[in-house]
Amino acid sequence: MLERLVRLYPRAWRARYGDELAQLVTDLRPGASRAALAFDLIRSAVTLHLREVRTMNAHAMRVALSAAAIVWLGVSAEIVLSNVVFPSKTDDDLVPILVSYACIFAAFFLVGRLSARHGANARSQVLAGVIAGAVIGAATVATFAVVDNVWLDIVSRQQAKIDGFAHSGASSMRAYINQGLIGAALFLTAVLAGFGALLSRAGGLSHTRRL
């Protein structure tokens, strides 16, 4: 009965130490309290699971945050270039937007794949994707907030913004833009976190199948 508690331990750890631990429990049982042995085995199993999760999550989080930072820098550069440096009054930025999303989605896939390579399980891969997506979403909207407010005179010449402001009832172009950014922050963060979870897991599975 007590030896069965060894099954509670993480699989990799059990493969290495499980038999020895089960034998030790058998050796100790005649002179020891069963409750004390059970408590120690369960407590130790929980500790090892938590340590394993912490280790996996730490790797996965580093990968997620690094990828998010690189993608955010690229997307921010594109935002500044297309809105400030080479502004267009017409909405002809479909190609840069598609390229940006392709890079973001590729990054999610890569996050899952690299996390899996560092031993992250499915839960950690999904969590890494969620973190990467949420960070990219929130940071990208923050970039828009800075660009739109600092270079309002340039940004407000965009036809889409002129039309939107005209139908918004907002007191000023700045108020109209900032109201839109609040909604965009919530929407983009949630949507990218969702895509991050899915694509990161897909990346993790691609690594697993390759092995």
> Which residues contribute to the site for another protein (CB under 8 A)?
13, 16-17, 19-25, 27-28, 36-37, 39-45, 47-48
Site of tokens 């990161």: 200
Q: 74: exposed, middle or buried (C-beta count within 10 Å: 0-12, 13-18, 19+)?
A: middle
Shortest reach from residue 190's CB to another protein, in Å: 39
Rounded Cα distance, 101 and 56, in Å: 27
Shortest reach from residue 88's CB to another protein, in Å: 57
Shortest reach from residue 36's CB to another protein, in Å: 7
Rounded Cα distance, 193 and 100, in Å: 16
State the helix-helix crossing angle for 11-28 and 34-80, rounded to 10 degrees.
170
Q: Which two tokens stand for residue 3?
A: 């030896």
Shortest reach from residue 15's CB to another protein, in Å: 12
Beta carbon nearer to another protein, 37 or 198: 37
Length of the chain: 211
Beta carbon nearer to another protein, 28 or 84: 28
Max CA pair span of the chain: 84
Neighbours of 92 (CB within 10 A): 9
Beta carbon nearer to another protein, 19 or 91: 19
Shortest reach from residue 28's CB to another protein, in Å: 6
The CA-atom distances, in angstroms, between 14 and each of 45, 74, 184 are 10, 44, 47
Beta carbon nearer to another protein, 41 or 64: 41
Beta carbon nearer to another protein, 39 or 187: 39
